[in-house]
């Protein structure tokens, strides 16, 4: 096996290109009419059956744009795949590389081994940190054991770490807006020296013990609800006059775009299916936004979790997908709907994303 340099030599590349086209033409684009899922077939999957096919009128299916994979997820998966090619299996991945069982199982089949603790990684084995980021203690443990590390932390998560460190260096008390226990939050809390206070709600802000004249700063988890976070930031600004922070800019482009798209989708459909994992923060936020708009909304991993009664009276079904859900699973859901009756698929116009992140130097082509 080729050798990797010792940590912390792996470099986190800056965004290679960060530009997005504005909204596409206002006409609805009709998606290619496929009778089956190429991706699902390639993966050896057929549509997930949900019951006897019964005659009913054609269902309209509208896909949100954008949906599914973001640049950070694409990069993280590519890091594992390239590491497997370059160094040979097994490679060890700390935590799910991204929150999606289909993705994790696909990488397992290629030779990746997923662990929760570095103590499970054998001496000298190639080790990959997940897209969510890790605490400094994990980086130090890997360095202490001289594990060859590739860091798949999303550059937008690293940006939040760096921003938090800068605020603390300015002598401010740092407040992290995020969900307790989420791996990204654990990583961010563990990256910043000095006290960091976690708040999850406006009630948490009201209960803060920090005195109002303290210089404070805040950063946020990248996958929060834009609307909820605005409320929490407003509550912080009411309580602290010496406060700085990024407003909602730490909520990443992919999260914001997918939330806008599902909000738009909610104007056109009777039910919303969000394809994503139960432990995927951004997928849960998409389901909540659909529900808050008054549309019955369900988070499903794939077509096998679709309950026919959710859609039996629906004329128009909206589908979106969280940032860690591959398109093959959206196609699986559509194929499952096809077992219930005729389906016409179209895609809402929406933002086109052209963001890519550089791979670590060791894995970059060339």
Select the residue interacting with ligand SF4 from 79, 103, 128, 131 (CB under 6 A). Answer: 131
Closest distance to ligand SF4 from the beta carbon of 79 (Å): 12
Calculate helix-pair angle for 136-144, 183-191, nearest 10 degrees.
Answer: 80
d(CA 113, CA 118): 12
Identify the helix (H) or strand (E) that includes residue 190. helix 183-191
In the bound state with ligand SF4, the residue whose beta carbon lies nearer, of 187 and 318, is 187
d(CA 60, CA 205): 44
Residues 6+ apart with CB under 8 A from 87: 1, 2, 4, 126
Among 96, 184, 186, 362, the active-site one is 184
In the bound state with ligand SF4, the residue whose beta carbon lies nearer, of 10 and 76, is 76
Select the residue interacting with ligand SF4 from 252, 269, 321, 348 (CB under 6 A). Answer: 252
Residues 293-322 contacting ligand SF4, CB under 6 A: none
Is residue 321 within 8 Å of residue 329, measured between CB atoms? yes
In the bound state with ligand SF4, the residue whose beta carbon lies nearer, of 12 and 61, is 12
| DSSP for residue 79 | H
Is there a catalytic annotation at residue 184? yes
Closest distance to ligand SF4 from the beta carbon of 158 (Å): 9
Residue of this chain nearest to ligand SF4 (CB atom): 72
d(CA 353, CA 72): 12
For residue 26, what are its two tokens?
A: 């206002």
d(CA 275, CA 329): 7
For residue 267, what are its two tokens?
A: 């104007």
For residue 246, what are its two tokens?
A: 């990024």
Closest distance to ligand SF4 from the beta carbon of 153 (Å): 9
Asked if 323 touches ligand SF4 (CB under 6 A), the answer is yes
The b-or-e profile of 89-114 (16+ CB within 10 A means b, else e) is: ebbbbbbbbbbbbbbbebbeeeebeb
Closest to 320 in 3D by CA, of 341, 293, 342, 339: 293
In the bound state with ligand SF4, the residue whose beta carbon lies nearer, of 71 and 233, is 71
Contact code string over 44-83 relative to ligand SF4, x by CB under 6 A = --------------------------xxxx----------
Select the residue interacting with ligand SF4 from 37, 220, 223, 284 (CB under 6 A). Answer: 223
In the bound state with ligand SF4, the residue whose beta carbon lies nearer, of 329 and 337, is 329
Closest distance to ligand SF4 from the beta carbon of 126 (Å): 21
In the bound state with ligand SF4, the residue whose beta carbon lies nearer, of 98 and 147, is 98
Residues 6+ apart with CB under 8 A from 282: 223, 254, 255, 258, 276, 322, 323, 324
Closest distance to ligand SF4 from the beta carbon of 32 (Å): 26
Asked if 329 touches ligand SF4 (CB under 6 A), the answer is no
Closest distance to ligand SF4 from the beta carbon of 188 (Å): 11
Asked if 177 touches ligand SF4 (CB under 6 A), the answer is no
Active site residues: 184
Q: Which residues bind ligand SF4 (CB under 6 A)?
A: 70-73, 131, 154, 156-157, 222-223, 252, 254-255, 282, 323
């Amino acid at each position: 096996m080729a050798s990797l340099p010792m940590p912390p030599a792996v470099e986190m590349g800056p965004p290679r290109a960060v530009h997005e086209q504005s909204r596409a033409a206002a006409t609805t684009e009709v998606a290619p009419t496929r009778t089956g899922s190429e991706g699902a077939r390639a993966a050896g999957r057929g549509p997930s059956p949900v019951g006897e096919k019964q005659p009913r009128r054609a269902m309209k299916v509208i896909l949100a744009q954008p949906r599914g994979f973001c640049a950070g997820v694409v990069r993280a998966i590519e890091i594992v795949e390239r590491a497997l090619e370059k160094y040979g299996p097994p490679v060890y991945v700390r935590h799910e590389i991204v929150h999606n069982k289909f993705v994790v199982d696909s990488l397992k089949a290629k030779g990746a081994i997923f662990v929760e603790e570095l103590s499970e990684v054998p001496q000298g084995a190639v080790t990959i940190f997940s897209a969510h980021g890790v605490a400094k203690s994990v980086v130090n443990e890997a360095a202490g054991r001289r594990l060859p590390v590739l860091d798949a932390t999303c550059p937008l998560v690293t940006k939040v770490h760096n921003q938090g460190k800068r605020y603390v260096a300015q002598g401010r008390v740092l407040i992290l807006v995020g969900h307790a226990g989420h791996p990204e939050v654990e990583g961010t809390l563990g990256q910043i020296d000095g006290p960091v206070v976690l708040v999850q709600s406006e009630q948490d802000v009201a209960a803060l013990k920090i005195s109002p004249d303290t210089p404070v700063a805040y950063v946020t988890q990248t996958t929060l609800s834009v609307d909820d976070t605005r409320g929490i930031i407003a509550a912080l600004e009411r309580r602290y006059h010496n406060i700085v922070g990024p407003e909602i800019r730490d909520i990443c482009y992919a999260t914001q775009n997918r939330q806008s798209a599902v909000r738009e989708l909610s104007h056109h459909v009777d039910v919303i299916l969000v394809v994503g994992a139960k432990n995927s923060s951004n997928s849960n936020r998409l389901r909540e936004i659909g529900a808050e708009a008054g549309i019955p909304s369900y988070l499903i991993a794939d077509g096998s979790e679709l309950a026919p009664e959710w859609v039996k009276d629906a004329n128009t079904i909206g589908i979106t997908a969280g940032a860690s859900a591959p398109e093959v699973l959206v196609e699986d859901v559509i194929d499952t709907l096809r077992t219930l009756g005729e389906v016409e698929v179209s895609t809402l116009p929406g933002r086109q994303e052209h963001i890519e992140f550089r791979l670590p130097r060791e894995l970059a082509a060339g």
